[in-house]
Each structure stands twice: as structure tokens, then as C-alpha cells.
Amino acid sequence: MIEILSSTQLARAKDTGALVADILQTLKSRSTIGTNLLDIDRWAKAMIVEAGALSCYVDYEPSFGRGPFGHYICTAVNDAVLHGRPYDYTLADGDLLTLDLAVSQGGVAADAAISFIVGDAQPPESVAMISATERALAAGIAAAGPGARIGDISHAIGTVLGEAGYPINTQFGGHGIGSTMHQDPHVSNAGRPGRGYKLRPGLLLALEPWIMADTAELVTDADGWTLRSATGCRTAHSEHTIAITGDGAEILTLPKRAQL
């Protein structure tokens, strides 16, 4: 299903996006050396409940996961990249952590992810990976607008990631979003321009470039959810929910300080 939102739904989507961004930034500030992933999950739950919102994850049970996800946020550390199920792990200096959060509020969902390095260590390779996903995300957003096609976004993202030298996995990518978290169209992180669904105002997309340092192959963790790099290399992931407007794309999941 491809859903085009009404003006009322779009207004609600902006509120949901702001909530997702605020929660992620709060969690980032609290995710320091010695923080347990299960604490991050508890903090996410508390903020979602306090806002009167609903988790898109806790009861989520798609075909690619094993049973309900059972947690409120995805926490992926180092070689984990997608669908990271929180577990009893304490963050160390230099860990590369990705937080991926989707909530629904007022009947409209928003989805975003951030990658960052915990503590004072700044491994150059990890910094470069995070930067590449952020640049690719910006390029994908710049390529989105009325009259553009999904392939234009995919091509823009893939060009940045490819030029940075990273293998690209196309099993998982961006997606439509609206009254539910995952909708059509699929937005691959590589593609050909001028192909695919033609974008229309009112369409919401979650764009999410993600990479692994030296492989495009994923393996599934024993938890049945967490996807890791097949070689054990580090990974990074950046995501925003955007709304297609009459003259471009509006980012709904920017932190407030980035909106000033």
C-alpha cells in the first residue's frame, strides 16, 4: 500500500517526527561509557509512554523477525547494523552505537536512526562511516520532490556510498511510512535514476542509508532479530522521515536545535 497523507495527517506527522527526534537526542546524551542497552530501552519506553505515543516496535512481528520484537528501540553496537534487539551489554569507550526509533502518535508514525561513537575515542574509520551515511541521506533527501522517482533517491544515496568505497546491501532500505511504520514503496540504497514510483505531495518516506565497512553480507544473530556484518566489521546507519511537499521534501525528524 502507498499512502498519501491529508493535510491533517501531515500536521500530526510533524509532531510525531519531532517526538522521535527529541527522544533520540535525549538517548544519545545519556548513552555514555557504562550505559547498559537495556537501560536505553527502558528510557525510550518511559519517554514514549509519557508523550502518550505508541511504540511501533514492541509488538512488531514481521516475517524477517522471530516473534514479537519485544522492545521499544533498536540498539545496534559495532558489527550490528539493523534491528538490533537490546540486551545486557554495557557500552565501552569507542563503541559505535546506532539508535533506531519509530513511534506512532495521533495515528501517524515517524522513523529515524542515528549512529555515533560512545565516549572520547574517535576511531577514524568509524567517523568516516557515519559521515558517509549522513552525506548519503542528505543526497537522497535532495533528490526527493514532486515529479522525481524513487530511483532518483536510490541513485543519489548509492552514488555517495559507492564513491566512499562501501559495499551496498539492497535487501533492506528505506520505505513508505504513514498510518503504519512500514509501507510501500521500498527505497533501495542503490538504483537507477528515472525509475520507480513517481513521488507525490503528501507521501511520507523513511530514507535510511546503512553500510558495513567491508562486506554487503548480513548474518542474523541468535536472538532472531539483530542483523550483523558477516565479517564482524563495523557498521553505520542514518535515517530521517521526510514528507514530499509541493516544492521539495521536508525533514520531519530533525532535532529542534537543527531546525533553528
- For residue 258, the model assigns a pLDDT of 45
Q: Are strands 240-244 and 204-207 parallel, antiparallel or unpaired?
A: antiparallel
| Mean pLDDT computed over every residue of the chain | 96
- For residue 72, the model assigns a pLDDT of 98
Summarize the confidence of residues 56-70 as an average pLDDT: 94
The pTM is what? Answer: 0.96
Q: Quick check: 256 pLDDT over 80? A: no
Q: Which amino acid does the sequence have at 245? A: T
pLDDT digits 0-9 by tens, 184-220: 999 999 999 999 999 999 999 999 999 999 999 999 9
Q: Quick check: 257 pLDDT over 70? A: no
Summarize the confidence of residues 165-190 as an average pLDDT: 98
